[in-house]
């Protein structure tokens, strides 16, 4: 069951990656602003917690705070990476590194055991995903800086997933989910009280003006706000499916399946570039296209070994 739930979740997140890149590049939303809107909408969960969840112990509190902070930090680093490079390359770079980081962290902190054939599948999946991220140097992208932010994002995402797995195991999925994501919402809300962040979100507006005021720098904001909302809703669906898969399965194997997300991402980006270039377009060369198709095949082989 965890396998199919994880695949469904990653399919949603593949679409979210495209929407993220579109919003960050076409609509010129700063990464810190996007982090705010990616996390603050989870704030209502913090008000549900007292009614539905028991009080966690000291260890659970530590996992909640570390996990929430790691998630917000990883989002910020990921959005910077997407802003500075092509999502079809840097997204897979992050996705390739996460299972490898988790393979080490989960064995050390969770005592998770994985069969040798499954380890082979994880390595093949990561290799296929990493192959997608290879990109010839292009003058309009700061590729080296993107790699640094991508690696940092993968490391913090790995910390988040391992702490989430530990929290779900000790505190139960429902209660752990409410506390973890509720505190992500609280951290997102706290970003608003930083003057630097507040001015980035609401330029030339006074503190206390309605939150539903000017988000972007143009007057025709309705459809853009709707685009952000759709992006976040789809992201929640994907995240819940993946997180529940983690709670009932192996955190290492579930995250290794992230390669499916990026294989699907290649297909979606290719289709959009070919048929709707005015909406979304990325640059492809013949050799690059062959490499990415080979990566999709390698990812399929990795999934076979994993299951």
Each residue of 29-78: pLDDT tens digit?
Answer: 677 777 887 788 888 888 888 777 788 889 999 999 999 999 999 999 98
Taking 50 as the pLDDT cut, the residues of the chain under it are: 139-140, 206-220
Contact 98, 268 (CB under 8 A): no
CA pair distance 5, 8, nearest whole angstrom: 5
CA pair distance 179, 120, nearest whole angstrom: 35
Q: What is the pLDDT of residue 204?
A: 56
Q: What is the pLDDT of residue 60?
A: 92
Residues 6+ apart with CB under 8 A from 305: 117, 118, 120, 121, 124
Residue 237 burial (CB count, 10 A): 16
CA pair distance 100, 81, nearest whole angstrom: 19
Contact 121, 299 (CB under 8 A): no
CA pair distance 84, 286, nearest whole angstrom: 23
Task: Please give the DSSP secondary-structure letter assigned to residue 192.
Answer: G
Calculate the average pLDDT of the chain. 78
Q: What is the pLDDT of residue 223?
A: 59
Contact 264, 33 (CB under 8 A): no
Q: What is the pLDDT of residue 209?
A: 44
CA pair distance 164, 198, nearest whole angstrom: 29
* Structural element, H or E, at residue 283: none
Q: How many angstroms from the chain centroid is the CA of residue 12?
A: 11
Which residue's entry shows tokens 């609509």? Answer: 27
Q: What is the pLDDT of residue 163?
A: 95
């Amino acid at each position: 069951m965890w396998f199919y739930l994880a695949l469904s979740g990653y399919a949603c997140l593949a679409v979210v990656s495209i929407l993220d890149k579109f919003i960050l590049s076409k609509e010129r939303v700063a990464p810190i602003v996007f982090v705010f809107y990616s996390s603050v909408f989870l704030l209502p969960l913090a008000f549900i917690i007292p009614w539905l969840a028991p009080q966690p112990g000291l260890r659970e509190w530590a996992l909640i705070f570390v996990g929430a902070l790691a998630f917000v930090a990883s989002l910020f680093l990921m959005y910077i990476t997407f802003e500075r490079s092509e999502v079809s390359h840097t997204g897979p770079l992050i996705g390739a590194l996460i299972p490898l980081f988790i393979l080490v962290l989960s064995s050390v902190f969770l005592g998770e055991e994985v069969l040798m054939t499954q380890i082979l599948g994880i390595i093949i999946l990561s290799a296929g995903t990493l192959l997608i991220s290879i990109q010839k140097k292009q003058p309009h992208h700061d590729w080296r800086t993107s790699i640094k932010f991508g690696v940092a994002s993968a490391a913090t995402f790995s910390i988040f997933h391992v702490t989430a797995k530990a929290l779900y195991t000790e505190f139960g999925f429902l209660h752990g989910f409410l506390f973890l994501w509720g505190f992500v919402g609280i951290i997102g809300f706290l970003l608003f009280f930083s003057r630097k962040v507040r001015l980035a979100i609401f330029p030339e507006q006074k503190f206390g003006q309605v939150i539903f005021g000017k988000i972007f720098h143009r007057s025709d904001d309705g459809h853009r706000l709707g685009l952000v909302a759709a992006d976040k809703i789809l992201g929640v669906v994907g995240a819940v499916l993946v997180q529940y898969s983690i709670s009932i399965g192996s955190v290492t194997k579930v995250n290794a399946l992230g390669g499916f997300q990026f294989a699907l991402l290649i297909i979606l980006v290719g289709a959009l570039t070919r048929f709707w270039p005015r909406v979304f377009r990325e640059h492809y060369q013949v050799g690059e296209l062959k490499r990415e198709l080979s990566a999709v095949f390698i990812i399929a082989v990795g999934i076979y070994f994993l299951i």
